[in-house]
């Protein structure tokens, strides 16, 4: 398993990381057996996967609890990334929530602690109904000073951000508090970061953690048509706004372009004799500006299939072909990386 340095942190993380959102079970992904979690985490470490990504909001903290159980006695082998909700960033609340995450994870420190979404009213509104918090969240300087205090206390090793665009990265830079990573959606159907965000991260030596590399199953080839997708997984701008449950973006989507791209990707994987999952993950991993690509694995069999992508040698010709196939989707959706809100009223800019 190849490893890359995560920004300026000095941390060496595997090019394929383990997304832990489904750990602990919940309404979004369904039930998840702890025995499977234990097996997946142990097998991941055996195969050289050392980065594990979770958040306090994943299954209301149960993801952190489940990961903590699986890593008991072997925590030193893992690099743990967790995230603080944008609704919990007032100084005293942030400190208390960090302590709670540490307790759930059964650890004395978190390797990478990230602000889950930028600090703006729309982002805050998504995580709380508190009118005062929505109207006047703490300023960016205050939040990152608190994070720096937690770092100085040894409770977190490195500070990161998640879902931050160019202007918001500038706001964070002006605080003077170094960040080592930005976690963003990145896959063949979600390439918005390529134009502006990715180059800026590379310029500033901020590692990129790519999430949702299989577009919640679309790039796994598991669906015969878009109608088979659960409404919960059809809330992004890729889909017409009428399709998803609780959709907020109000856009027309890029369904025709996406259907054609999926057909072409599947055909190309057939020509190459490689699973669509392997091809899709290998494409993301091949971008050296992306430090690690995190993917969920519900059991050992899924992990083995996902891990195969890390050793698959994808050619430049195949990369170019995949870029060509998915370019119509990129052009239709544009360069805004918030796929859940309208591009003209986004949490990320």
Q: Is residue 267 part of a domain?
A: no
Pair of tokens at residue 141: 């300087």
Pair of tokens at residue 337: 């990386």
Q: Is residue 348 part of a domain?
A: no
Our CA angle for 89, 54, 309, nearest 5°, is: 140
H/E run at residue 112: strand 110-115
**Number of folded domains that form the chain:** 1
Q: Which of 206, 204, 209, 213 shows the shortest CA–CA distance to 184?
A: 209
Longest dimension (CA), the chain: 56
CA–CA gap between residue 130 and residue 346 (Å, rounded): 20
CA–CA gap between residue 148 and residue 5 (Å, rounded): 21
Give me the torsion for CA of 285, 287, 288, 293, rounded to 10°: -40
Give me the pLDDT at residue 27, please.
86
CATH code of the domain in which 53 resides:
3.20.20.100
Contacts with 344 (C-beta within 8 Å, 6 or more apart), sequence order: none
List the domain range (segments joined by +) for residue 306: 3-216+275-314
Is 45 within 8 Å of 80 (Cβ atoms)?
no
Sites in the chain below the pLDDT cut of 50: none
pLDDT tens-digit profile of 75-134?
Answer: 999 999 999 999 999 999 999 999 999 999 999 999 999 999 999 999 999 999 999 999
In DSSP terms, which residues pair with 18 in a beta bridge? 52, 295
Q: Is residue 251 part of a domain?
A: no
SS3 290: strand
The residue behind tokens 């997984």 is 233
Q: Is residue 221 part of a domain?
A: no
How many helices (H) and strands (E) in the chain? Answer: 12, 10
Q: Is residue 49 part of a domain?
A: yes
Q: Is residue 63 part of a domain?
A: yes
Give me the pLDDT at residue 55, please.
98
Neighbours of 324 (CB within 10 A): 11
Q: Is residue 197 part of a domain?
A: yes
Q: Is residue 240 part of a domain?
A: no
CA–CA gap between residue 19 and residue 310 (Å, rounded): 15
CA–CA gap between residue 193 and residue 185 (Å, rounded): 8
CA distances to 89, 190, 214, 244 from 185, in Å? 23, 7, 10, 18
In DSSP terms, which residues pair with 26 in a beta bridge? 30
Give me the pLDDT at residue 197, please.
98
pTM given for the model = 0.97
CA–CA gap between residue 138 and residue 93 (Å, rounded): 11
Give me the pLDDT at residue 245, please.
83
Is 291 within 8 Å of 5 (Cβ atoms)?
yes
pLDDT tens-digit profile of 159-201?
Answer: 999 999 999 999 999 999 999 999 999 999 999 999 999 999 9
Is 15 within 8 Å of 50 (Cβ atoms)?
no
Give me the pLDDT at residue 145, please.
98
What are the φ/ψ torsions at residue 159 (nearest 5 degrees)? -105, 135
H/E run at residue 42: helix 34-46
């Amino acid at each position: 398993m190849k490893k890359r340095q995560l920004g300026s942190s000095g941390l060496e993380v595997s090019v394929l990381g383990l997304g832990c959102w489904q750990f602990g079970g919940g309404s979004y992904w369904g039930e998840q057996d702890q025995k499977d979690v234990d097996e997946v985490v142990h097998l991941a470490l055996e195969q050289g996967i050392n980065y594990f990504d979770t958040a306090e909001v994943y299954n209301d903290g149960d993801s952190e609890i489940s990961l903590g159980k699986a890593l008991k006695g072997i925590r030193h082998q893992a690099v743990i990334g967790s995230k603080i909700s944008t609704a919990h960033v007032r100084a005293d609340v942030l400190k208390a929530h960090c302590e709670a995450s540490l307790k759930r994870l059964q650890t004395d420190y978190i390797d990478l602690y990230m602000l889950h979404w930028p600090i703006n009213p729309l982002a805050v509104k998504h995580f709380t109904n508190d009118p005062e918090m929505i109207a006047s969240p703490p300023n960016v300087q205050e939040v990152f000073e608190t994070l720096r205090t937690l770092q100085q206390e040894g409770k977190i090793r490195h500070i990161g951000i998640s879902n931050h665009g160019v202007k918001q990265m500038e706001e964070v830079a002006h605080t003077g508090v170094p960040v080592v990573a930005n976690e963003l959606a990145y896959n063949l159907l979600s390439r918005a970061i390529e134009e502006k965000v990715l180059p800026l991260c590379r310029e500033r030596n901020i590692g990129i953690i790519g999430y949702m590399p299989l577009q919640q199953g679309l790039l796994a080839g598991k669906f015969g048509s878009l109608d088979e997708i659960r409404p919960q997984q059809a809330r992004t701008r890729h889909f017409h706004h009428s399709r998803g449950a609780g959709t907020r973006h109000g856009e027309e989507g890029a369904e025709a372009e996406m259907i054609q791209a999926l057909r072409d990707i599947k055909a190309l994987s057939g020509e190459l004799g490689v699973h669509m999952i392997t091809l899709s993950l290998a494409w993301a991993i091949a971008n050296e500006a992306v430090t690690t690509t995190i993917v969920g694995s519900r059991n050992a069999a899924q992990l083995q299939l996902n891990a195969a992508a890390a050793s698959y040698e994808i050619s430049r010709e195949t990369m170019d072909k995949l870029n060509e196939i998915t370019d119509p989707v990129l052009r239709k959706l544009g360069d805004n990386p918030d796929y859940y809100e309208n591009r003209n009223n986004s949490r990320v800019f």
